[in-house]
Amino acid sequence: SVNPDLASERLTASFNVEKLTAQLDGGAEHTRMRRAVVEAIECDPVFSRENEYFQSQNERYEAAVRKAVYLQKKMYKMGWTENGPEYKYIYRALSGDVALLLHRIFMRSISVLGSDKQIAKWIPLATQYQLIGSYAQTELGHGTYLQGLETTAVFDITTQEFILNTPKISAMKWWPGDMGRSATHSVVFAQLYIQGKCYGVHPFIVQIRSLQDHSLCPGIIAGDIGPKMNFEHVDNGYLMLQNVRIPRENMLNKFCEVQPDGTYIRQGSQKINYFTMTTVRISLISDEVIIPLMKACTIAIRYSVVRRQSKLKPGEQEAKILDYQTQQEKLLPQLAAAYAFHFINDYLQELFDRGYREIQRKNFDTLPELHAFSSGFKAMVTQYSTSAVETCLRACGGHGYSLLSGLPSLYTKILASCIYEGENTILLLQTARFLIKCFMAASAGQPVPPSVTYLAAVKPGNCPAKNKLDFLSPDIYTEAYQHIAVRLISSRAAELQDLIQSGVKKHDAWNQCTVQLVQAAKAHCHYITVKNFTETVEKLETKAGIQKIMKHLCDLFALHGIFSNAGVFLHDGYISGAQMDMVTASYLDLLAIIRKDAVPLVDAFDFTDKNLNSALGSYDGQVYQRLYEWAQKSPTNKQMSPAYEKYLKPLLHNTLSKL
Amino acid sequence: SVNPDLASERLTASFNVEKLTAQLDGGAEHTRMRRAVVEAIECDPVFSRENEYFQSQNERYEAAVRKAVYLQKKMYKMGWTENGPEYKYIYRALSGDVALLLHRIFMRSISVLGSDKQIAKWIPLATQYQLIGSYAQTELGHGTYLQGLETTAVFDITTQEFILNTPKISAMKWWPGDMGRSATHSVVFAQLYIQGKCYGVHPFIVQIRSLQDHSLCPGIIAGDIGPKMNFEHVDNGYLMLQNVRIPRENMLNKFCEVQPDGTYIRQGSQKINYFTMTTVRISLISDEVIIPLMKACTIAIRYSVVRRQSKLKPGEQEAKILDYQTQQEKLLPQLAAAYAFHFINDYLQELFDRGYREIQRKNFDTLPELHAFSSGFKAMVTQYSTSAVETCLRACGGHGYSLLSGLPSLYTKILASCIYEGENTILLLQTARFLIKCFMAASAGQPVPPSVTYLAAVKPGNCPAKNKLDFLSPDIYTEAYQHIAVRLISSRAAELQDLIQSGVKKHDAWNQCTVQLVQAAKAHCHYITVKNFTETVEKLETKAGIQKIMKHLCDLFALHGIFSNAGVFLHDGYISGAQMDMVTASYLDLLAIIRKDAVPLVDAFDFTDKNLNSALGSYDGQVYQRLYEWAQKSPTNKQMSPAYEKYLKPLLHNTLSKL
């Protein structure tokens, strides 16, 4: 039975929920496929996550390995493949709570960076799980700055081998997933030395555990890095190498090669070695960020129409908390962001697919743009979404703080996305560097990638809005965002030039501008996201009410951004104080409008109860019953605590050795 | 041996660290006492926290009970008392990782709300631990809105008893600490009914577990609410009451009483029943918020001078990450906030002590101001500090995400402070209601409490600053904050009046303004905090460099607030765009200045390594060694995982039932 407070929300949807779901899935046939996968996974008790919140790190790891291995059988039985269209639905259905995920990254590295011969040798072995791969890049003392890695690979001409070493503690590999207890092999990044000369960081395939008994190979020290904020199911590990010898053929050599005589040959940019990270950055946006954000919105919004607290009107029943403006203002902008990011992800995928085709043809021209975009949007989307999930958690009050709400795990997991695959500040500064370069080029009349031509087209004048309704015009707000992006980028370019002309060294000048360069890079990404949302809305079918509600969400996303970053819009008077009041008024009006469709809008994400794994977010809204029943299953309720006999009883009976 | 990168930071301190420590402690004699307590606790292996990050919820609970019981012996031996000056140092030394904390709240409730007779009966029992108390207010379906509580206490004249009941699932008590497995008694809040008439929420002492064998008393259902984001050491519990009878004397009756014939008598405000929460709100600010924030700053700042990454200048060694402007901008404002909040806490303590003395004399006049201030500052300080700790965590990159950094636990624990003892948004709205009332009164020439007289003294004109140095003048920025607070409060008052005059009902008008009312309440608290910081700095001794560095921190705190909330300062032109650039310039300059003293400024907080319990924050800065050695002790490294034999071996040897 559905909680009537939740049921009533579904009666008044202004649009067809099923149609919106199909839109999000990219067509009704995808929805069908997704549901079939989810059904197959969820009916299988091996994949149950019901005990997840009660388990220790060791238990989580073991369950994740069990699932990963069992999944191989399941996929074979179902006819699903690693590269098939079902895979992303499998991952979604499992909520990523499965081991051996780095095996995929291991394979992707070899596919991208390996020669045809290497691919022919290693990919079948990996596909058949005759080995388990990991990917070892980050070191205890070195993360995002890859050139600083200290692991060495010295070429020994006499034996035609590379000798790998961890010269000191800070060079120990640290964090690689599946490394602590599972992997037998790893792609290891190390500084290549040939006859005393360093050629920079390169990838090498290294065996780390025996294929017979899983013992560590000679010269290998490896283990688990211990407890983390989340990812208990993953055995993130450490790895030390002591004179580990691997054959010359184990350096991935599609783009760089060491010949038998020690000659080093490079084809194309060395930066291609980092390309695996670019691909990972793009793919994580949907799987690790947008889907968790959608889940958090689903949980918090459903809970907010079931939870009643305090009275809006004297004498009436306590009100649903979603009827409070403050609660709407917490949750609905996050909902709008989930949609905005879903659409920007489509845009990035397209950009990436186009670029990747070029790279396969050894045309590296798009690499800087791809790098700048994957970096900037990875940073912007992860940061925004992390803070959005935290807002959802806090909006559920005490119950949000219970692990059984599902929200703490969503938060502690999504938070990592701000750090892994490139720390966000560093990434935004790389985007900023690209933007400054493009701005200088555009100003000098040189060609720039289409995504940044707007930098050259600075329009004079201020925001023309006359009343609050004008701010519901996409042209008005998109132009405001564009204006801000151009202003922030161009002022930083000017400041950099001024500083350098006044005698400050280039690198010092850069460092002195970085706080505001980060702001400029964010403004660019924000602008592109708003613009892409408006363009997506235009293309949506007008039937079934979908375009209309998406337009509201697009407006909300845009106006929320102006309201929350008022300073940059007011700074040069592009938007006046009076206009900011109009923005605020329109923004608050939109909250009340979208509130009516809030539940249908999260229903459209189409998460099953098992997938949400939340006492607060279930489709039926039986929140209190579920919390109570689930809590009773906690190991903390399974026995009389030994603490009573040992400590409390002597205390209460005053038989502690005489106080 | 101290890491030389950390040691070098200590050589150039611009002030005397020991003197600043004494200043923070309130005098050198307090520093001595604190260190003696810390020494006594930390040399005792029972209180070790080294395994904390490896333990399950059950293990954490058991350890916390062991510590709590052992602490009684220790305190007796040391001559420390529950109400003595050492207690806060004990709590700090234990990092709150101890059980039976609600026992103190139980006692405080009785002391504040109980009659002399009740105090005489219960306090000695509690002091000698002949019972273990808890405090049960929040219900599964009811939190901050206390009037909505559903537990009932019906007076039975014939037996002179109250009959307590949980009429439905949403009325179950939920969250009370020490309730799940430890407490024998609880103060239970319930709706009082006499002869069918409801008299509102009152506190009752109820026994829940046998003093003989700890079994649940008749009519009691209780247990643990299961896993949470933190507080694994606390047995937060649930409680259902089924016709539980307690004697008439068990209603706490200092202010309200039910006489034998059923006559109900009240003395003073009913709101006094919630006064325990006000006292808790004030005391948590220091213990649960400011100290953890100081720890997070210590960890992140020490780590940031040991961690080197990337190059600031080509050809040089990799730079300390604290030398990057972006890293300074992440951490130093949090450091400034830690000092700002330390000083505002002194201010609040004083305000509270004065008010409490009045209340003891049954003069309730200061109650509204106390309530508004404790609410607003609790919300402001917890929210700011939570986000500050998160910033510290993220500023440490991957290593910050390891539990061994200490930061995840600090974060997940401090986050709860935004929710417990009143959800922050609700609290800020209560502060806003008080401010609007005071503004209206002040405008009408009526007297208002001294803390808000500024609302009446609106000065015309804009910010007079002419260059960036002007923004280092406390008068300039304090007036800017005051202007904003007055503007936001007065515009909301005007908007409310307009709405009501235009026919909108009062409660609807209020709801429509709440998003901005929250903003106004925050602006008020921010203003008072800045003002108090400047006043504190003025009074500091000028010797030993303390006043100078505190002035820098005060400036940083103030300018960071303007920089981050630029919109409200620019909105009406009080600060112009050009002036905002001056603010930015001064703000960024300050970062570089304070960076030089960053390590001495966290050293002054004087945390021991054991107290920080962090691989990143130790006094000696041996980060990588510590991480590696500690990780090896993790239970995830203690054995060959059973997952290999069970799952990985069959997978690798392809002996899974034929794929």
Q: How confident is the model at residue B277 (pLDDT cuts 50, 70, 90)?
A: confident
B82-96 tens-digit pLDDT: 889 999 999 999 999
Give the pair of three-digit tokens for residue A416: 């990592």
Q: Are B13 and B598 in contact (CB under 8 A)?
A: no
In chain A, what residues touch B175 (CB-CB under 8 Å)? 398
* Closest Cβ opposite residue A625 in set B169, B318, B637: B169
% of chain B beyond a pLDDT of 70: 98
pLDDT at A269: 67
In chain B, what residues touch A515 (CB-CB under 8 Å)? 325-326, 329, 588
* Closest Cβ opposite residue A514 in set B181, B326, B516: B326
How far is residue B177's CA from residue A494's CA, in Å, rounded to a whole number?
58
A641/B181 Cβ within 8 A: yes
A68/B647 Cβ within 8 A: yes
pLDDT at B659: 46
Residue to substitute from A484, A522, A651, A656, interface B, most B β-carbons within 10 A: A651
Residue to substitute from A229, A514, A562, interface B, most B β-carbons within 10 A: A229
Q: Which residue of B has its CA nearest to A183?
A: B648
CB pairs under 8 A between A and B: 378
Residue to substitute from B182, B590, B639, B647, interface A, most A β-carbons within 10 A: B647
How far is residue B374's CA from residue B457's CA, in Å, rounded to a whole number?
24
A308/B226 Cβ within 8 A: no
In chain A, what residues touch B130 (CB-CB under 8 Å)? 652, 654
User: Of A370-374, B38-42, B348-352, where does the model show the most confidence?
Assistant: B38-42
A144/B310 Cβ within 8 A: yes
How far is residue B651's CA from residue B655's CA, in Å, rounded to a whole number?
6
How far is residue B136's CA from residue B239's CA, in Å, rounded to a whole number?
8
pLDDT at B421: 87
Bridge partners (DSSP) listed for residue B320: B308
A324/B511 Cβ within 8 A: yes
B413-462 tens-digit pLDDT: 999 999 998 899 999 999 999 999 999 999 999 999 989 999 987 778 99
A580/B571 Cβ within 8 A: yes
B654/A58 Cβ within 8 A: no
How far is residue A298's CA from residue A21's CA, in Å, rounded to a whole number?
14
Q: Binding site annotation covers A386?
A: no
Q: Which residue of A has its CA nearest to B642?
A: A62
Residue to substitute from B178, B570, B584, interface A, most A β-carbons within 10 A: B570
Q: Are A644 and B235 in contact (CB under 8 A)?
A: no
How far is residue A480's CA from residue A491's CA, in Å, rounded to a whole number?
16
3-state secondary structure of A174: strand
Q: Are B633 and B54 in contact (CB under 8 A)?
A: yes
In chain B, what residues touch A397 (CB-CB under 8 Å)? 143-144, 419, 423
Q: What is the DSSP string of B21-72?
A: HHHHHTSHHHHHHHHHHHHHHHT-GGG--TTGGG--HHHHHHHHHHHHHHHH
B140/A625 Cβ within 8 A: no
In chain A, what residues touch B632 (CB-CB under 8 Å)? 223
In chain A, what residues touch B184 (CB-CB under 8 Å)? 652
pLDDT at A41: 97
Q: Which long-range contacts (CB under 8 A, 24 or more apart) does A352-360 make?
A: A352/A279, A352/A282, A356/A279, A359/A272, A359/A275
Q: Which residue of B has its CA nearest to A306?
A: B141
How far is residue A267's CA from residue A253's CA, in Å, rounded to a whole number?
10
A360: distance to nearest CA of chain B, Å?
30
Active-site annotation holds for A423: no
Q: Are A626 and B40 in contact (CB under 8 A)?
A: no
* Closest Cβ opposite residue B636 in set A57, A128, A229: A57
How far is residue B482's CA from residue A403's CA, in Å, rounded to a whole number?
41
* Closest Cβ opposite residue A228 in set B311, B403, B568: B403
Segment B143-169 shows an average pLDDT of 95
* Closest Cβ opposite residue B511 in set A325, A420, A568: A325
Sheet of strand B173-174, all strands in order from the earlier edge strand to the far edge: B173-174, B237-241, B220-224
A23: distance to nearest CA of chain B, Å?
33
B170: distance to nearest CA of chain A, Å?
6
pLDDT at B121 over 70: yes
Buried b / exposed e along B253-266 (16+ C-beta atoms within 10 A): bbbbbbeeeeeeee
In chain B, what residues touch A172 (CB-CB under 8 Å)? 624, 628
The closest alpha carbon to A281, from A378, A398, A159, belongs to A378
Just list the catalytic residues of B.
421
Q: Are B322 and B598 in contact (CB under 8 A)?
A: yes
Q: Are A143 and B309 in contact (CB under 8 A)?
A: yes
Q: Output the pTM of the full model.
A: 0.97
* Structural domains of chain B in order of their starting residue, each with its CATH number: 103-267 (2.40.110.10)
Pairing relation of β-strands B173-174 and B237-241?
antiparallel
Give the pair of three-digit tokens for residue A463: 């925001």
Q: Which residues of chain A have pLDDT under 70?
A: 268-274, 655-659
pLDDT at A659: 46
The closest alpha carbon to A72, from A135, A119, A130, A29, belongs to A130
Q: Binding site annotation covers B138?
A: yes
B142/A214 Cβ within 8 A: no
pLDDT at B366: 85
How far is residue B273's CA from residue B276's CA, in Å, rounded to a whole number?
7
B253: distance to nearest CA of chain A, Å?
27
Spot the catalytic one: A421, A479, A538, A629: A421
The closest alpha carbon to A187, from A258, A126, A263, A266, belongs to A126
pLDDT at B385: 98
Residue to substitute from A515, A583, A659, interface B, most B β-carbons within 10 A: A515
Count how many residues are written for chain B: 659
A306-327 tens-digit pLDDT: 999 999 888 899 999 999 999 9
Q: Which residue of A has its CA nearest to B64?
A: A643
B644/A145 Cβ within 8 A: no
In chain B, what residues touch A320 (CB-CB under 8 Å)? none
Helix (H) or strand (E) holding B523: helix B506-539
* Closest Cβ opposite residue B644 in set A56, A214, A624: A214
B227/A634 Cβ within 8 A: yes
B526-581 tens-digit pLDDT: 999 999 999 999 999 777 799 999 999 999 999 999 999 999 999 999 999 999 99
Helix (H) or strand (E) holding A334: helix A325-360
pLDDT at B143: 87
A66/B652 Cβ within 8 A: no
pLDDT at B269: 67
B108: distance to nearest CA of chain A, Å?
20
User: Please, which residues have CB within 8 angstroms of residue B413's CB and are 6 or more apart in sequence?
Assistant: B230, B231, B288, B292
The closest alpha carbon to A435, from A524, A362, A568, belongs to A524
A386: distance to nearest CA of chain B, Å?
11
Q: Which residue of A has its CA nearest to B303?
A: A141
pLDDT at A298: 98
A412/B398 Cβ within 8 A: no
Q: Which residue of A has its CA nearest to B240?
A: A628
B76/A223 Cβ within 8 A: no
B573/A643 Cβ within 8 A: no
3-state secondary structure of B418: coil
% of chain B beyond a pLDDT of 90: 88
3-state secondary structure of A524: helix
Residue type, B325: Q
Residue type, A341: F
B593-642 tens-digit pLDDT: 999 999 999 999 999 999 999 999 999 999 999 999 999 999 999 877 88
Give the pair of three-digit tokens for residue A225: 């890095």
